[in-house]
Structure formats: C-alpha cells, structure tokens
Amino acid sequence: MSWITILWSMNAAACLTLAGFYFVVWCKQGENWVHLLFSCSAVAAAAIAAFELAMMNAQTAKRYQALCDEQKATRKD
C-alpha cells in the first residue's frame, strides 16, 4: 500500500469522524442547522476523497473515464 493511499484514507476517515461528531451535536441541538450542514459537507468531502483515490488507482484510461462519468452523474441535479 502506497503512502498516498494511506493519506487519502486518513483524510476520508477524518472527514467521516467530524461528520459523525457534528451530526450527534445537531441531534442534541436540533435548532442549530449549522452543525447538520457541516456534517453533510464533511460527508461530501469524504466522498470526493474516495473518488480521487479510486481515480489515482485506476489501471486503465477506460476505468478512469468511468469514474469521471460517475462523479459527473452524482453532481447533476
């Protein structure tokens, strides 16, 4: 396992940890929506990190293109 895989995984784990923490805070203080928004932002950052890691580890250009298409499809409204 390369050092970049370890760092990107640690980044995603930190984002998910913060997301979980702020989600619990929001559950306790439901009137303050800032905590929920931050939690959602942290989950989105973790998802982006996962997509980036998958794209960095893509073995072929076709697989990289498929991952890019998936990422574009998730951003469309």
Helix (H) / strand (E) containing 41 = helix 34-56
DSSP string, 3-37: HHHHHHHHHHHHHHHHHHHHHHHHHHSTT-THHHH
Helix axes 34-56, 61-75, angle to 10 degrees: 160
Confidence (pLDDT) at 1? 79
Question: How do residues 48-58 score in pLDDT, each as one tens digit?
Answer: 999 899 989 88
* Amino acid identity for residue 9 in this structure: S
**What is this structure's pTM?**
0.81
Answer yes or no: are the C-beta atoms of 19 and 46 closer than 8 Å: yes
Question: How do residues 8-43 score in pLDDT, each as one tens digit?
Answer: 999 999 999 999 999 999 999 988 899 999 999 999
The yes-or-no verdict on residue 6 having pLDDT over 90 is: yes
Instruction: Say which residue the tokens 């990190």 belong to.
Output: 49
